[in-house]
């Protein structure tokens, strides 16, 4: 018997490229603007001597700030090292049964990775040809449901009515609503956590609050589900979030004026980009995110992706069935997007 037989092997998630040179980076849905000035101030004023001590394991200051901002109680909030960590804890905690969990075939590809890592049976359900969910597909016997809303990489937002129908018709399993992009459009499902006891809503500060480098994610849910999450977290790693991240997250969530300003800038640029892409013959669903998932008029997405890259402009290309004729274009600053279109028109 070889030791190889005892090694857990999975196909890992493939992140967007992180070039180590100056480029126009439109491939990983990061915010094109700096974090709130309050974040810089909080880090600057941090007691450096405090770093020799473990951070607060219950992350009380950040949890309380999030609860206050969203009108919830502290016991309805969970935080982690980016929404990837939060979602990973959700998979580990809530999907321990024998029935397969379900999620769309075109969505955040990390879902399949976590299912494989944790040995969770799963089934992917095809979106329709318009990249929408058929609600009836999710009303079935299952071990859990995961819906990204708005969806990535398509940018499509489902109605809150559809999301609630899925939650309501799956009372015997947990429904996770991944709202990484909800600040840019769509209707949030946060209100459902006080109406149903089987729903978890996850969020991130990586996109609309410009803190991808700090890795801050959070979840909302009924207090009972949040307790289950914390029980698993403290069984795996009690000190998940570092002190600078806790300070930065609190500062960011408390600066609502700055958040609104940069969010609105991104949305305004996105709407302008939609018009430009349409004039060039690109087709796409109406995006409610900080990116646009668009098909070039000739479907030659890979060729355009490579030529943009030659010009130091990075977008995302997925060489996968059903979406290999599309490009996912993150929204940058106005200047970055003008340069993008200047090069794109030449291509």
Q: Please classify residue 197 by burial: count the beta carbons closer than 10 Å to its beta carbon, then call 0-12 exposed, 13-18 middle and 19+ buried.
A: middle
CA gap 109, 86 in Å, rounded: 15
Same domain as 242, residue 160: yes
Residues 151 and 268 in one domain: no
Report the interhelical angle of 82-94 vs 110-117 (nearest 10°): 40
Please give the Cα distance from 221 to 229 (Å, whole number): 10
Residues 210, 124: one domain? yes
Domain boundary residue, one of 218, 238, 255: 255
Statement to judge: residues 50 and 64 lie in one domain: yes
Distance CA 261, CA 268 (A): 11
- Exposure letters 166-177 (e unless 16+ CB within 10 A, then b): bbeebeebbbbb
- The residue ranges of the chain whose pLDDT is under 50 are none
Phi-psi region of 249 (alpha: psi -120 to 50; beta: other; left: phi over 0): alpha
Same domain, 231 and 125: yes
* Structural domain harbouring 75: 37-255
Whether 41 and 27 share a structural domain:
no
* pLDDT on residue 21: 75
Write down the pLDDT at residue 134.
97
Residue 238 sits in the same domain as residue 278: no
Query: For position 9, what pLDDT does the model report?
Result: 80
Domain boundary among 210, 239, 255: 255
For residue 280, give Cα distances in angstroms to 15, 340, 342.
28, 13, 12
Is there a single domain that holds both residue 246 and residue 331? no
Residues 80 and 217: beta-carbon distance below 8 Å: yes
Report pLDDT for 188: 98
Q: Which H or E element spans position 233? A: helix 223-236
CA 55 – CA 241 distance, rounded (Å): 7
CATH number for position 300: 3.90.1150.10
**pLDDT tens-digit series, residues 55-71:** 999 999 999 999 999 99
Q: Which positions ≥6 away from 290 have C-beta within 8 Å? A: 29, 31, 181, 184, 207, 208, 266, 270, 330, 331
Please, what's the b/e burial string for 17-34 (b: 16 or more CB within 10 A of its CB; e: otherwise)? eeeeeebbbbbbbbbbee
Do 199 and 306 belong to one domain?
A: no
Parallel, antiparallel or unpaired: strands 101-104 and 122-125: parallel
Share of the chain above pLDDT 70, in %: 99
pLDDT on residue 3: 75
Is residue 281 within 8 Å of residue 304, measured between CB atoms? no
Give the pLDDT confidence score for residue 4 in this predicted structure.
77
Residue 46 shares a structural domain with residue 158: yes
Torsion sign over Cα 229, 13, 181, 81: positive
CATH of the domain at 168: 3.40.640.10
Give me the helices (H) in 45-182, please. Answer: 60-70, 82-94, 110-117, 160-168
| Shared-domain flag, residues 243 and 286 | no
Task: Tell me which residue of 217, 161, 169 sits closest to 189, measured CA to CA.
Answer: 161
Q: Which of 190, 220, 255 is the last residue of a domain?
A: 255
Distance CA 126, CA 132 (A): 9
Q: What is the domain count for the chain?
A: 2
- Give me the pLDDT at residue 5, please: 78
pLDDT at 158: 97
Same domain, 330 and 340: yes
Residue 218: φ, ψ to 5°: -155, 165
């Amino acid at each position: 018997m070889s030791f190889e037989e005892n090694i857990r092997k999975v196909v890992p998630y493939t992140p967007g490229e992180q070039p180590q040179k100056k480029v126009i980076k439109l491939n990983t849905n990061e915010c094109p603007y700096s974090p709130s000035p309050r974040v810089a101030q909080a880090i600057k004023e941090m007691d450096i001597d405090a770093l020799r001590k473990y951070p607060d394991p219950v992350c009380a200051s950040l949890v309380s700030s999030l609860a206050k901002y969203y009108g919830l109680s502290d016991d309805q909030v969970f935080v982690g090292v980016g929404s990837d960590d939060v979602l990973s804890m959700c998979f580990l905690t809530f999907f321990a049964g024998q029935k397969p969990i379900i999620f769309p075939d075109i969505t955040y590809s990390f879902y399949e990775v976590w299912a494989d890592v944790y040995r969770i049976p799963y089934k992917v359900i095809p979106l329709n040809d318009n990249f929408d969910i058929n609600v009836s597909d999710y009303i079935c016997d299952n071990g859990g449901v995961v819906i990204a809303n708005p969806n990535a990489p398509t940018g499509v937002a489902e109605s809150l009515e559809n999301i609630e129908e899925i939650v309501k018709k799956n009372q015997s399993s947990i429904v996770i609503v991944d709202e990484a992009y909800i600040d840019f459009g769509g209707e949030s499902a946060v209100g459902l956590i006080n109406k149903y006891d089987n729903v978890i809503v996850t969020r991130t500060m990586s996109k609309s609050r410009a803190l991808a480098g700090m890795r801050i994610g959070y979840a909302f849910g009924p207090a009972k589900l949040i307790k289950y999450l914390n029980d698993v977290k403290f069984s795996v790693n009690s000190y998940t979030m570092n002190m600078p991240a806790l300070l930065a997250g609190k500062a960011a969530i408390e600066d609502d004026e700055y958040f609104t300003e940069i969010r609105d800038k991104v949305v305004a640029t996105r709407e302008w980009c939609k018009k430009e892409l349409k004039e060039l013959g690109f087709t796409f669903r109406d995006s409610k995110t900080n990116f646009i998932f668009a098909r070039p008029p000739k479907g030659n997405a890979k060729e355009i992706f490579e030529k943009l890259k030659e010009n130091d402009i990075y977008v995302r290309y997925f060489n996968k069935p059903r979406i290999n004729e599309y490009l996912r274009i993150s929204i940058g600053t106005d200047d970055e997007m003008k340069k993008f279109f200047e090069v794109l028109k030449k291509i």
